[in-house]
Structures are given as structure tokens and as C-alpha cells.
A and B are shown apart, each in its own frame.
Chain A
Amino acid sequence: MKNIKHISPFFILIPMFSIIGFIPNIYYLHLFNLILIYSLFSLGLNILTGYTGITSFGHAGFFAFGAYATAILSTRYIMPPIISVFFASFLTGIAGFIIGLPVIRISGIYLAMVTLGSAEFIRLLAINWESLTGGPLGISNIPAISILGFYINSERSFFFFLYPILIILTFVFIRIIDSRFGRSLEAIKDDERAAESIGIPCVKNKLISFFISGFYSGLAGALYAHFDRFISPDTFTFSLSILVLCMVIIGGMGTVPGSILGAIIIVILLEYLQPLGDYRLLVYGLLLAIMISYYPQGLIGILKEISGYFKKNRFQRNN
């Protein structure tokens, strides 16, 4: 019965938000597609940063890995995109597992540096391995995803393709978090030694969390590649890693709605601060610094505080 409580909001949300797919303005639809992709991406970072307590400064690397894997598989090896997307995300999961291997020896900031280094290395490979990745020019003409002969090449069809995927994967994510494994992750975040002493296999669980994180981020990257139909190393810079970290932290670390809320806010800010050009990074930097020092629980934490405030008032009124 506990599960019904978790699913119940979805029964309302699923039909409600699919109405978005029918709005006439293609530009807004484009924004919503971006939000869906970035939600997946920030969910991927959230399981690592929010639940396991491992900060990654290199998630753009996973995103790039997924995008390049599916682009190479579908253009060079003529694999059907719908298969190559999931193949690519699985490969990214394995890459995440390998990048996470140093977890056996190191933790904290040193591990964050390893993720940063690996992301930079993936980007350098993308720039320099020209025969495979097209070098600085990137890969263009990535085929659109097709299901049963129906091509998903417009914004609207992409929305209706992406939306169920996000719903299913969010549901899977919640199931993972609610499982024994998910709770063990939170135990590791709170106190690793205590978790170890009650018999939680810390290293193994951290590595699995790296795998899941890589899978989600790689899937987001792969979908992005088929969404934009063009990828180049310029997309996957350090600032993308910062951006997704912003999403997780502003939304609220360790909450599922937080990741999605963060993605919505960052994508909207990204669009409406367009006239500022590169200067919008200033806004992100300051947001990141302010949120982390004043509201470490993120927007979800603020919302909870506000609702708690109202509840308290009602309680006081009743007495």
C-alpha cells in the first residue's frame, strides 16, 4: 500500500502534463523537450550527489559519452537509433562504473577531481580522435529516431516520445530510491563508517550508483543527440557540468521533484537570459553560491518550509 501513495500523484500528473504536447507554439514545445532531457540528466546526477553524497564535477562527460556513442553507432554503423540510444546509455553506465572505480581508494574532493578529469579527457578524445568523432566539427546529420516506421523528427512527436520515457524512468528512479539499495545509499551519505559497520557493502553500492547515474546521464545525452541532430565538443564543456549541478542544487539535493524543478528553472532562465550572452553564467555562479550557503535544501526545501509554516499556523489556530 505504501507504493500506491508514491504513485498516486502520477495518476493526475501524467494526463495533465501531456496536454503540453498540444500547445501550438513550437518554440515553447522546444523548451519543454529541453526540460525533459535535462530532467533525466539531473536525475542522473542526483542519485550520485543527492543520494550517495558523491559530488561530480564531470557529468558533462557522461552526457557527451552517451551522445557520441549513439551518434557514432547510428551514423557509422547504421544501427537503428531506437536501439542505439539504449545501447549508448548502457555503455555510458559501464563508463560510469569504470570512472567510479577510484571510489575504492578515494572520496570527497579527490573523487570530484577524478570525475572532472575524466570529463575533460572524454572531451579531448572527442576533439582529437577525428576519424571516429569528427573532431572539433562534431557529427551532423544524426538520424531521427523511428518507431515502426514512424519518424520522430518534429518537436511535437519528440515530446510525445520523450514524455513517457521520462515518466517511466522517474518511476523506476523512485522505485530504486525506495528499495533497500536506495536506503543503503542514503546511509552511506550520512555516515559511511556506520553504514559499513551494519553490513552495507559501501564500495559495491557506490559503484552501482555510478552505473545508474551514468545510465541516466548517457540516456539524456543520447536523446539530446537525436533531438538536436548535431553534436560537437563545444556542447559538452565544464559549464554544462556546472549547469546540471546547478539544477540539482537549486532544485534540492536528494529529492526527485527537486531535480525536475531544477531542470525547469534552469532551462527557463537559460532561455530568458539569452540576451545576456555569456554573462548569464554570472547568474548561475551567484545562484549556486547563494543557494548552497543559505538554502542547502534547495527550492524543495524552501517549499517544504513554507508549507510547514502554514501547517503550524493552522495547528496554532486550532489550539
Chain B
Amino acid sequence: MMFFEQIISGLIIGSIYSLLGLGFTMIFACTKRINFAHGDLMALGGFIGLVFIQIFPSYLFLSFIFGPLSIGIISVIIERVFLRRLQEVQPLKIVIATIGLSVAMKIVMQIIWGPDPIAYPNLVSETPFFLLGVSIIPQNFLIFLISISLMIILQCFFIYTKTGRALRALSQDRYAARLMGIKMGQSISIIYFISGALAGIAGMLIAPIFFVSSSMGTFLGLKSFVAAVIGGLGSIPGTIMGGLFLGVVENLSSGLISSNYKSGISLLFLVLVLLFSPKGLLSIFQKGSLLKGRKSKK
């Protein structure tokens, strides 16, 4: 049973990785750049969610709507102010700039909310229930449920709505998409809004387990980026699979080998995947993906 419990807790943390990794993937697919301040948006989401929970203590779902919305807006603002003017610069320079931004955001959060982790109120009851002999904490189950349903909604958004189709077109060929009358700036803002909102939800979901701290964004963000790369950066199903896979592998390895090397194992895994299948694990199984944005070189 120990084994199954580890797999299940791996799936739960993995669903958070997927939620965050989706932000990396969508931004990469549509704008060909990587936003390393994404993890810190998640931490900010945790803090702002806490503020909203204190404002509406009796209506939790309201804070689950306003928190992510405000993070989405902040994400759009960051893109407008800092990243849009970097349009023509080398992609790696954008990475360096967003790393600078991420460091700055972390410190700003530290100044406002202090360096220590803040406990989060429990969203649902803590007594575990048993499913097929495995004890599951409702809180964790809620995380899994919400993130999986969000991913399904996102997938439907990209397949069935006009905006979603426009974004997919943008990710395939931005100039052709522009010729077809898709507004670049608006679409990029939508992408940043969605990814920011997802990061905000991820922050609010993970906070009751890990507590919110200004530094939690760095490593969760890094690992979800790793998850996105493992699954295939630019592909939504790939990222979801990659996140869940990474969560399970990490938990199993820390259970079976040693928990000391937990973060090292995921990075080692990243190196192996990059060496043997640079397009991500999913590309082994299928040719082509939903968001075909990835050119293999550069």
C-alpha cells in the first residue's frame, strides 16, 4: 500500500507541476520565449489568495475566482511592461531578464509578507477517506480534481473555441496567423492571462500543503518547467503527462532511494530526457502535437 500511496501523492504534486508547466508551454508555443517569473506568479497567487480568503471568509469560491483573476491581470501587466519591448532580442536574453524579474518579485513578496512561510486555512476537512484501501486526504483529492478538470477545460478551449483556434494558429506560424487577421498583441495578452490565472490557482491549491512563502515559487517553477520539457515543451497533453510523470517519479525515487536527492533526481531526469529525446517523452509515442510550435533547432 505504501507504493500506491506514494504514486497517489506523486500524482497530486504532479498535477500542480502540470498546471504550472502549462503556463510555460502556452507562453513558449505562442511567443517562443520562456518566462521564468512564472513560478513566482504562483507564490504571489498563494499570497493574494490568502488576502481574498481573509476578505471573504465565508465564501471560499469567491476567493478562488478573484485570486487567479488578479494574478492573470498582473501577469498581463508584467508582459506589457517588461517583456513586450524585448520582442526582437535573443530568446536567451529574455530568459535572463525574466530571471532578474523573478528575483525582484521574490524580494518584493518578502518585503510585503515577510520571509517566513505563512500557514493557510484548510479549504476542506482533513480527515482522510479510504478508496480501495488507500487513505486519501480530501484536500489533496480536491487539488487533483480541480487541476484535472481545469486541464480538460483548457483543452476544450483550445479545440472548440474561436479564440483557442486563433491561438493555435499563432503557435504554428505567427506571420501567417497575422495575415489571417489574428491580433498578435491581444492574443499574447490572452495567453499571459490564462497562464497567470492557472499559476494563481496552482498557488492557492498548493498553499494548504506547503504553506505560502516567497521562495516556494523558485523551485516549484523550475520543476514544472522541467516537467514541461520532459513532456514536450509546446504540447499541452505532453506537459500534462510530463507533470504527472515527474511527480510520480520524484515521489517514488525519494521513497525508494533517498529523499535527500529529490530535487537532483528530477534535474538528472531532465538531462537524460534532453539527451535522448529532446522533443520530450510524448514525441516518442506520437507524431505531432496539439500546439505544434516547436522547431527542433534553436
The interface of chain A, by Cβ under 8 A from chain B, is 55, 57, 102, 105-110, 112-114, 116-118, 120-121, 124, 127-128, 238-239, 242, 245, 249, 278-279, 281-282, 284-289, 292-293, 296
Contacts and interface: CB of A to CB of B under 8 A. Distances in A.
B85 A124 contact: no
B222 to A, nearest CB: 8
A307 to B, nearest CB: 25
Interface in B247-284: 258, 260-261, 263-264, 267-268, 270-271, 274-275, 278
23 contacts: A57-B99, A105-B274, A106-B274, A106-B278, A110-B229, A113-B229, A114-B271, A117-B270, A117-B271, A118-B271, A239-B103, A245-B96, A278-B107, A279-B110, A281-B107, A282-B103, A282-B104, A285-B102, A285-B103, A288-B97, A289-B100, A292-B97, A293-B85
A112 to B, nearest CB: 7
Instruction: Give the interface size bracket for B toward A.
Output: 35 or more
B162 interface: no
Q: What 5 A-B pairs have minimum CB-CB distances, sorted nearest first?
A: A288-B100, A117-B267, A285-B103, A285-B104, A289-B100
Nearest to B96: A292
Q: Which of A55, A116, A287, A288 has the most CB of B within 10 A?
A: A288
A278 B110 contact: yes
B111 interface: yes
Contacts of A106: 274-275, 278
A286 B97 CA distance: 9
Interface stretch (B50-58, B86-94, B174-182, B198-206): B86-94
A193 B275 CA distance: 21
Contacts of B34: 109
Given A110-B229, A282-B107, A282-B108, A120 B274 contact: no
B274 A286 contact: no
Interface in B37-94: 82, 85-86, 89, 91-93
Contact of A293 (B82, B260, B264, B267): B82
A114 B82 contact: no
A169 B95 CA distance: 30
A109 B92 contact: yes
A108 B274 CA distance: 12
A245 to B, nearest CB: 7
Given A114-B274, A278-B110, A289-B82, A109 B95 contact: yes
A127 B260 contact: yes
Contacts of A55: 92, 95-96
B298 A293 contact: no
A293 B229 contact: no
Contacts of B190: none
A281 B106 contact: yes
B115 interface: yes
A285 B107 contact: yes
A287 B96 CA distance: 11
Contacts of A128: 258, 260-261
B132 to A, nearest CB: 36
A113 B96 contact: no
A131 B89 CA distance: 47
B108 A124 contact: no
Given A105-B275, A107-B298, A114-B274, A120 B263 contact: yes
Contact of B101 (A114, A116, A285): A285
